[in-house]
Amino acid sequence: MSRALKTVQCLQHLDLDFSFCYNISDKTLKGLCKALKRAPELKSLILNLSQCVNTDIPDQGLANLKDALKEKKLLEKLVLKLNNCHGITGKGFADFNQSFKGLVSLKSIAIDLEYCNGITDEGFKLLTQDFEKLISLESVRLNFKECENFVDKQLENVCEGLKKIKSLNGRLSLKMKLCPKITDSGLKTISEVIKESRSLQEIKLSFAG
């Protein structure tokens, strides 16, 4: 597949679905990321690594994406699906975020972390702390459904990053279904984000099971 992508220099939209690929190797993902460097006109990228439960691909994959996305000045939409990846800790976000400065056209970002119970406090903090570098970002969708260890403090860290996004005027979606440790304190933090982002056109908050 990586060889095929090497020849598609005019590629604008790419949807890669590796869900339930338990034995996919880091070598394969590195090859794909390397090939993505040769797609300067890419406008939309969807990468699905859901259910890759037997590998450390999610964290390493985020690190590999750094170089692949660094010069994607035309990229407008980015979707990362990491649902039920038990091995993800979030440390890969530190590397992944280094690509943000070059994503000058990115308007929409969505990250699914459903059932990801291995993410550390630092991982949740890293998730959004550099979103402010995405100067054209209008819409954010984050999914924390059934992240059993997702508590108020981690939600506060996520929201701190969201409050710094100056261009957030489209849609904000936060899914926290079946996150039993979120309390009124966490909800207050969300209200502060909404207060800061007065130009938002749509807000979707989901807590029910």
Which of these, 61, 51, 52, lies nearest to 28 by C-alpha position? 61
Q: Which domain holds residue 76?
A: 2-206
Res. 21 pLDDT band, cuts 50 70 90: confident
CB-CB contact of 62 with 30 (8 Å): no
Q: Does 84 have pLDDT greater than 60?
A: yes
Q: Report pLDDT for 126.
A: 94
**DSSP bridge partners of 202:** 171
Q: Report pLDDT for 57.
A: 66
What is the rounded distance in angstroms from the CA atom of residue 75 to the CA atom of residue 106?
5
* Helix pair 26-36, 57-69: axis angle to 10 deg: 20
Q: How many domains does the chain have?
A: 1
Element (H, E) at 168: none
What is the rounded distance in angstroms from the CA atom of residue 38 to the CA atom of residue 142?
29
pLDDT in tens, 39-73: 889 999 999 989 876 556 667 778 888 888 987 99
Q: Does 81 have pLDDT greater than 90?
A: yes
Comparing 58-62, 108-112, 203-207, the range with the smallest average pLDDT is 58-62
DSSP 151: -
* CATH number, domain containing residue 92: 3.80.10.10
Res. 128 pLDDT band, cuts 50 70 90: very high
Distances (CA, A) of 71 to 36, 50, 66, 136, 138: 10, 26, 10, 15, 20
Residue tagged 């990250």 (tokens) = 111
Residue range 105-113: average pLDDT?
97
